[in-house]
Amino acid sequence: MRCDRELGVRYVLEGSARKGGNRVRITAQLIDAVTGTHLWADRFDGLIEDVFELQDKVASAVAGVIEPALQAAETTRSTSRPTNDLTAYDLYLRAYSMFWSSARQISDALTLMEQAIARDPRYGPALAWAAICCFRLLQDGRSEDRKADRLKGAAFARRALEVAGDDPGILTNAALTLAYFGEDIGAMIALVDRALALNPNFARGWQGSGTLRLWAGQPDTAIEHVEAAMRLSPRVRVGASLLVIGCAHFVSRRFDEAVPKLLLTIQDDPSRPSPYRVLAACYAHMGRLDDAREIVARLRAITSVVSGDASCYRNAEHRELFLSGFRLAAGETE
């Protein structure tokens, strides 16, 4: 394939449409123009009278798939790229992979992100993900110095915003971090809204928006936004998305709907403490105290910080619902 030379592009999105009777089929494929490798392909069927709706569906699906497919391709490409100055990028990619592999590796991921930042102090994605790492260390109860990590995380997020430009990923990660550390929730939602205006098909932006809406006391909107993220990027790990949905059902007192989402979240990453805490509180409010105490026992096996921080919830009733449920689950000595 010589598209890379003729058009000056690295990737090509090809497609075709066929009509049969009153039905139409649209096919699409993403190709590495340099190697000819097929990175992704799919097909979409619909009725001819719904062709405009089908076009919108294809456009949304393709946009959601392209981003993770290209990131994976670029990650692979970086290992063989002939350049002497890839150290910071390599550190970033290794840290990014570690972050998503297990909550236990977030501390190590932060170390690598900080090494990347030391090489390039204006490396926006590394700054933004370093901020997220600090936020998660505090949320998970794995921070060795909560005050220092809080200050460091906020500083990383603000530095990331200084160089963010129109990068929706940086805007989203900085907004999540600063919101968790107590910044005005409305202002942080506005940042993510800006990210989504820049790229309406940015799956992580919709997931981040759902998280912020949950913290802002808008659980139903949170579920809608996270479900949009899952539709746009169905191939990514689902634990973080299901955690937001489970928490949204929990604060809405839809405990029966919250439980399966939280159980799936734990299954996705058994080393992440947050879903255990919410599930224990959920079981307690359902009167399933034996189940609640079993979950607390499992939580103790993965972290020494058993009690959770509910300060991210701006709604006082939501905070108290979690805290009262967890106190009941863990016992009065907690």
Residue 291 structural domain: 231-334
Looking up residue 23, the CATH number of its domain turns out to be: 3.40.50.10610
C-alpha to C-alpha distance for 302 and 266, rounded to whole angstroms: 12
Same domain, 40 and 123: no
- Per-residue pLDDT tens over the stretch 255-267: 999 999 999 999 9
For residue 114, is it within any domain?
Answer: yes
Q: Which residue has the tokens 């929990």?
A: 250
pLDDT, tens digit, for every residue of 93-130? Answer: 999 999 999 999 999 999 999 999 999 999 999 999 99
pLDDT over 90, % of the chain: 67
Q: Do 154 and 240 lie in a common domain?
A: no
Domain finish residue from 200, 217, 245:
200
For the stretch 172-213, pLDDT in tens is: 999 999 999 999 999 999 999 999 999 888 999 999 999 999
Same domain? 31 vs 113: no
By C-alpha distance, which of 217, 203, 209, 214 is closest to 191?
209
Q: Do 111 and 61 share a domain, yes or no?
A: no
Question: Would the pLDDT of 74 be above 70?
Answer: no
In a domain, 288, yes or no: yes
- CATH number of the CATH domain containing 294: 1.25.40.10
Q: Are residues 61 and 87 in the same domain?
A: no
The per-residue pLDDT for range 13-66, each reduced to its tens digit, is 777 778 777 888 888 777 766 555 666 777 778 887 777 777 777 777 776 666
The count of structural domains within the chain is 3
Mean pLDDT of all residues in 240-268: 97
Q: Among 65, 95, 116, identify where a domain stops.
A: 65
Domain edge (last residue) among 24, 39, 65? 65
- Strands 11-20, 38-47: parallel, antiparallel or unpaired by DSSP? unpaired
Helical residues (DSSP H) of the chain, grouped into ranges: 3-7, 51-78, 87-101, 106-119, 124-140, 146-163, 168-180, 185-198, 203-215, 219-232, 239-251, 255-268, 274-285, 289-300, 316-330
Cα first-last separation, the chain? 64
d(CA 188, CA 179): 6
Q: Would you place residue 315 in the very low, low, confident or very high pLDDT band (cuts 50, 70, 90)?
A: very high
Q: Considering the domain boundaries, does residue 206 fall inside one?
A: no
In a domain, 320, yes or no: yes
Mean pLDDT of 79-92: 62
**Which residues are registered as beta bridge partners of 46?**
24
Q: What is the mean pLDDT of the chain?
A: 87
Within-domain flag for 219: no
Same domain, 278 and 173: no
Same domain, 54 and 117: no
Q: Provide the 3-class DSSP secondary structure of residue 58.
A: helix
